Amino acid sequence: MTPLLSVEALSVYYGKFRALFDVSLEVAAGEIVSIIGANGAGKSSLLKAIVGQVPRIEGGIHLDGRSLDCMSTSAIVSSGVALVPEGRRLFPSLTVDENLDIGWQIGRRGSIRHEDIFGFFPALASRRKQRVRELSGGQQQMVALGRAILTNPSLLLCDEISLGLAPVIIGDLYNILPEIRKNGTAILLVEQDISRSLAVSDRFYSLLEGKVVLSGRPGDVSREDIIRSYFGG
Ligand SMILES: Nc1ncnc2c1ncn2[C@@H]1O[C@H](COP(=O)(O)OP(=O)(O)OP(=O)(O)O)[C@@H](O)[C@H]1O
């Protein structure tokens, strides 16, 4: 069966610096897959390459068998890929509703509607007319996730959604991921918090210095092997 996402021998370059080395991975429809790795391992570069946001790549990236290599970021989003970027990148002076609408406008038409976001994140329902800069970090992350969900993606890319948030808020965000998957959306999850991400993932890939050094199902690989792959040595 053709995977939803297929990354084949991907290398990413920033000028002469090579951040990824022949990375290959697959994500099936509806699957949750984690990319784990320490600072600088290349996790964000992988996600950015998928949405066409790095200067140069070698190798191939296919969604549903269709090459994304030469597509613009907006065309990639329209074809069903959404990124929740590290740092959220919201419009702080716009309201919750206005930020969410951006996802609706740039995405695909599908089953998810604006009002559905308040089902995923009830805490946003009473704040929809508030400017995003007035919200807590956790609520802002909900808006960032909501905006991405509103593009009706077949593949949702999440870059460190737990960063800087309190454990209880992180728990709330992670509880939503299986709900998102119920609509058939696959999720590629980049995290430094290994326990958190592996607990919701079907499979994982561990990156070390730009290379895949370990992959598998969380239950099939020992904790020691995962930690070793994360730190090297
Ligand atoms: N725009 C850029 N220009 C030059 N080098 C970059 C750029 N972006 C990332 N790098 C380098 O590429 C390597 C991989 O960075 P990347 O951000 O992908 O790693 P990461 O695993 O996501 O780390 P972190 O968790 O710190 O975000 C690092 O050595 C980083 O310094």
The encoded tokens of residue 165 equal 């948030």
Atom of ligand 1 at shortest distance to CA of 48?
Answer: 18
> CA–CA separation, 131 vs 138, rounded Å?
14
- How many whole angstroms from 132 Cα to the centroid of ligand 1? 27
- How many whole angstroms from 52 Cα to the centroid of ligand 1? 15
- How many whole angstroms from 44 Cα to the centroid of ligand 1? 7
The encoded tokens of residue 42 equal 């290349």
Atom of ligand 1 at shortest distance to CA of 190?
Answer: 22
Q: Which of 12, 14, 83, 230 to mutate to test the pocket of ligand 1 (most atoms within 8 A of CB)?
A: 14
Residues with C-beta less than 6 Å from any ligand 1 atom: 14, 17, 19, 37, 39-45, 192
Find tokens 């890319």 and name the residue: 157
Assign residue 154 a region: left if phi > 0, alpha if psi is -120 to 50, beta otherwise? alpha
Query: From atom 28 of ligand 1, which residue's Cα is the shortest distance away?
Result: 40
Can you give the pTM of this predicted structure? 0.91
Query: What is the set of domains in the chain, with CATH numbers?
Result: 5-88+153-231 (3.40.50.300)
Q: What is the pLDDT of residue 231?
A: 84
> CA–CA separation, 132 vs 63, rounded Å?
32
Positions of the chain with pLDDT under 70: 1, 233
The string over 86-116, giving b where at least 16 C-beta atoms fall within 10 Å of a residue's C-beta and e elsewhere, is bebebeeebbbeebbeebbeebbeeebeeee
Q: Provide the 8-state DSSP code for 27.
A: E
Instruction: Give the pLDDT confidence of 131-141 residue by residue, as tens digits.
Output: 989 998 889 99
Cα dihedral 228, 230, 231, 233 sign: positive
